[in-house]
Amino acid sequence: MSLLHPRAPSPSATRRITALLRSCHPEPALAVTALVTALAVAAGHGAAGAAVVGAAVLAGQLSIGWSNDALDARRDTAAGRRDKPLTTGDAPVRAVATAAGVALAACVPLSLLSGVPAATAHLLGVFAALGYNLWFKRTVLSPLTYAWSFGTLPVFVTLALPSRPWPAWWAVTAAALLGVGAHLVNVLPDIADDLATGVRGLPQRLGGAACRWLGPLVMLTAMGVLAVGPAGPVGVIGWVLTILAAVVAIGGSVGDPHGRGPFRAAMAVAALAVLLLLVHGPAIT
């Protein structure tokens, strides 16, 4: 084989790599990473600091996504989930589990680049999400892990600053609410399969109809906290973003009630929340 013309990956290898990437839940992983990186900029991080925060968050999100699919492989196969690479054989369970371990191992030093206090906050959030994958998703306490995992993200961002300030209460509260809202809408398409395979978290117990409206309500409560929490008047931009978030959240629930519409709407509301944080800027600390 010529060094100038290296052999291209075989179709099977390319398919496995693609399947491995799909198994990490790329949509929420990239969305959370981008949103937290933007939050880091809003909090006062420079380009290097924001990049370090973003890299740590990405590693944590990859570990969470890959471990979720690896742990759910048997359940997804029993439920006939053909949208999961592990159920079709395109990605071996061992490879996905290994990828989750490697990502978690990388998350530790990447988090420590921001200092021990910040790393502790971030890793506690990652471990909460892993705890959800391992056990809490089957219990009525499932939203607590989402609240904790998302709520620690502003803490990670601000403790990574040179002065290591704690974030404002409204930033942590809004992040926790955004996490709970995302949890409620994320499970919507899978509630029937979850119940059939013994997964009875709070959303499954509440049912699809309740979650379809409760999820957006929680997300909009987060927007309200961001609008009125900081000192000073809400302002025109705050009201515009809040109203737009309401339109997006309700539209996602009504327009695609049984698909991924509510979850994508939740991600859009989260993006609007970060825009509102950008408006507040340094007030997060």
How does DSSP classify residue 66? Answer: H
Cα(274)–Cα(79) distance, integer angstroms: 36
Quick check: 125 and 172 in contact, CB under 8 A?
A: no
Q: Please list the pLDDT of the chain residue by residue as tens digits (285 residues).
A: 445 555 545 547 677 788 888 888 888 899 899 989 988 998 889 999 999 999 999 999 999 999 998 888 887 777 667 667 777 777 788 888 999 999 999 999 999 999 999 999 999 999 999 999 999 999 999 999 999 999 999 999 999 999 999 999 999 999 999 899 889 888 887 888 888 888 899 999 998 888 888 888 888 898 889 888 887 777 788 888 888 888 887 777 666 655 666 777 777 887 788 788 777 767 888
Q: What is the DSSP letter of 230?
A: S
Query: What is the third-level CATH fold of 14-284?
Result: Farnesyl Diphosphate Synthase (1.10.600)
Task: Say if CB 273 and CB 245 are below 8 A apart.
Answer: yes
1 burial type by CB count under 10 A (0-12 exposed, 13-18 middle, 19+ buried): exposed
Q: Does the predicted model carry a pTM greater than 0.85?
A: yes
